[in-house]
Amino acid sequence: MLSFITSLIPTSYLIPGWLTLDINPLDSLLQGLVGACGISVLCSTIRLHLFLEEESCNDKDTLSQRTPSHQRSTYSGLFGMLQFFFVTGMLAVVGSRVASLVVLEFCLRAVSGLVTAGPESRKFVQQLLVQSQFSLGCALTCSLHFLHEGASQRWLCLLLAAALSWFLASQATRLLHHVMALYKLHSSQRYCGICICLLTSGCCVLPMLCRTMIITFSVAVVASISIINQHFLSATEALRFWTPLTICYTLLVVYMQEEQHRLPGSQAVLNTVVVRLGGLMILMLTVGRWADVLHILMCFLGEASCLIPTKDLLDAASSQDEEDYTDYVQRERQQRPQAQEKEHQR
């Protein structure tokens, strides 16, 4: 029935071929919905981790030393729903080819950043998780496109995946609202099983999230390479595409690492998005198609819709790193006089 309806759409003489979607519009919409739900789960988990981390610091009587530099809002209500459906539309419109390039670019940036992060690895991981929102949506859509390619009942499989993703996203949002509202009361009175579990094992939230992201992007890298190679007729044409892509993004990664050390967290991230997507657009103008250029413009809007509402999370990671450094300096200053006194006594 769906194929019969889509066959009646006069795309051949009214709409240019490079403006049409890669797959059925319903399949694209379901894939975008799964990607948006994944982004929602990621944001809820990051906020939950930051909230638990701040509460653990408060329990250690360091509240007077730590001043909150941000307000963690969950962006619920009308604005949250509009942002969710906007991201869904962007992920549905972006083609599988450009989505695959976004995934590969993010993985290259993540690996090189983790290698060069050094002692700032914890800060970099938290910032990287926030920056990976739209890339995670592209990773989920690429993986679904690759895994369900050629399936006879593709729309039914995607519908089940979308329903499960919606359920997980709603449960993650409800958990975040519950914890932010009642965690202090329930953890102190040992009343709620969920809050007690987070009190005892809340430090495992960030490692669990990192392992989940590694598995997700590992599958997405395989899917992305397979999707991109389908557009090439020979190995020479593939080599002509991959060589400038690798060189371009290696240089961009080095530049972006320097920018993140020089500028504040949120400002560096926004500048980085413009630089790397601008480089990707230039590459697509040389070896790509007009559809790829249009999809990259959609990626600009998708990245902005994900990062602008979560600037507080980027600032939170930077402020926590600065607070940890000041605490370390204060402990060192307190230990030095004690060590000098012991040496004089000897």
- 133 burial class (0-12, 13-18, 19+ CB within 10 angstroms)? buried
SS3 state at 278: helix
HEC assignment per residue over 198-254: HHHHHHHHHHHHHHHHHHHHHHHHHHHHHHHHCCCCCHHHHHHHHHHHHHHHHHHHH
Mean pLDDT lowest for which of 50-64, 78-92, 105-119, 144-158? 50-64
* pLDDT for res 111: 82
**Which pLDDT band holds residue 70 (cuts at 50, 70, 90)?**
very low
Closest CA to 187 of 95, 23, 53, 55: 55
What DSSP character marks residue 148?
T
Calculate mean pLDDT across residues 311-318.
74
Distance CA 11, CA 29 (A): 18
User: Nearest Cα to 134, choosing from 220, 27, 253, 76?
Assistant: 220
Tokens of 213: 């992201």
Supply the Cα-derived Rg of the chain in whole angstroms: 23
pLDDT at 231: 72
Provide the pLDDT for residue 35.
95
Provide mean pLDDT across the span 327-343: 49
- Rounded mean pLDDT, 12-17: 44
pLDDT of residue 67: 40
Give residue-wise pLDDT tens across range 227-277.
888 876 667 777 777 777 677 666 666 666 665 555 555 666 677 777 777
Check pLDDT > 60 for residue 339: no
The continuous run of DSSP H or E covering 160 comes out as helix 154-189
Q: Given a cut of 50, is residue 4 above it in pLDDT? A: no
- Distance separating alpha carbons of residues 38 and 45, to the nearest angstrom: 11
Instruction: Write down the pLDDT at residue 256.
Output: 64
Is 32 within 8 Å of 90 (Cβ atoms)?
yes
What was the pLDDT predicted at 248?
Answer: 67
pLDDT in tens, 91-125: 999 988 889 888 988 888 888 777 776 656 777 78
pTM, rounded to two decimals: 0.80
DSSP code per residue over 83-137? HHHHHHHHHHHS-HHHHHHHHHHHHHHHHHHHHHHGGGHHHHHHHHHHHTHHHHH
Instruction: Return the closest-CA partner of residue 122 out of 206, 187, 43.
Output: 206
Residue 139 contacts residue 213 (beta carbons within 8 Å): no
Of residues 61 and 42, which shows the higher confidence score?
42
